[in-house]
Amino acid sequence: MTEKKMKRGFKESRFAVFWNRLKRNRNAMIGLYVFLLLVMLIIIVPIVSPYDYAKYDIMSISQKPSLKHPFGTDDLGRDLLTRCFYGGRYSLSISLAAVLFSTSVGTVIGAITGFFGGKIDAVIMRMLDVIQAIPSTLLTIIISAALGVGIDKTIIAISVGSIPGTVRLLRGSVMRTREEQYLEAAEAIGCSTTRRIWKYVVPNSWSPLIVSSTMGVARTILQLAALSYIGLGVQPPTPEWGAMLSGARGYLRDYPHMLIFPGLFIAISVLCLNMFGDGLRDALDPKLKD
């Protein structure tokens, strides 16, 4: 067996152990499959639906749920089922992009501050203290107000609040990895500092981030919805779930279906991600289970 194959075999077996543990967790699997089903529907439904997500229909304004419109229609006669699924494209991709952004920024800062320690570490940690002294919802609201509306700006606004958490998590993990012998070995054979950080320290330190990012997507979906609801973030007529709720807030008394369905979509997607995230955590850290 060549060295490369052996290395891969080792990695696969470690992943297999983890995957087997995850597969046995019924809740995690339900969460995963329902979420994947939801994603598939979000892709397919707007394509096959006979209604357009943006086209007004004056003849069918504010209809209650019926066979023709299973979720009813909104105040401009648009089919809510189509809009809910179409809106998922915005809600989920914006949340995912925000988590990717905050995780990558957090990883870079966390790796640097954890690896070098000393003055850099002290300065960065004090800066994080300041950011964390503001509740993250509040920070998100202010940044969003300062940047203005738009999808790209919303992504930045909702990711900033979660960067400090990522940095702290990775920093702690990096500080433990830094003491490992293979890093001494890497230094001894003359690896550059950059190479040591990106090739050895980060890959061996980022596993705590898996769970936190999965949960992070769930948390971000909630934050995005809240931000759009209060009139910042994504604006109607874009069918993002929070923006749909914001647009329908005046109809709670007369047409509650306009507010019930988008909210259910948020709750179901967040619930699935949380169930999967719980399973991931148990599979990665089995000492908490049984």
Which stretches of the chain bind another protein, using CB under 8 A? Answer: 129-138, 141-143, 145-146, 148, 218, 222, 225-226, 229-232, 242, 245, 249, 252-253, 256, 259-260, 263, 266-267, 270-271, 274-275, 278, 287-288
- CA–CA dist 174, 184 (Å, integer): 14
Minimum CB separation from another protein for residue 62, in Å? 16
Minimum CB separation from another protein for residue 86, in Å? 19
- CA–CA dist 262, 91 (Å, integer): 11
Minimum CB separation from another protein for residue 285, in Å? 10
Minimum CB separation from another protein for residue 106, in Å? 16
Least Cα distance to 170 among 102, 247, 231, 70 occurs for 102
Nearer to another protein (CB atom), residue 197 or residue 258: 258
Nearer to another protein (CB atom), residue 87 or residue 111: 87
Minimum CB separation from another protein for residue 202, in Å? 25
Nearer to another protein (CB atom), residue 41 or residue 268: 268
In contact, 91 and 266? CB cutoff 8 Å: yes
Nearer to another protein (CB atom), residue 74 or residue 278: 278
Tokens of 67: 């066979």
Nearer to another protein (CB atom), residue 111 or residue 139: 139
The three-class DSSP label of residue 107 is: helix
- CA–CA dist 272, 39 (Å, integer): 11
Least Cα distance to 205 among 163, 181, 162, 170 occurs for 170
- CA–CA dist 125, 46 (Å, integer): 46
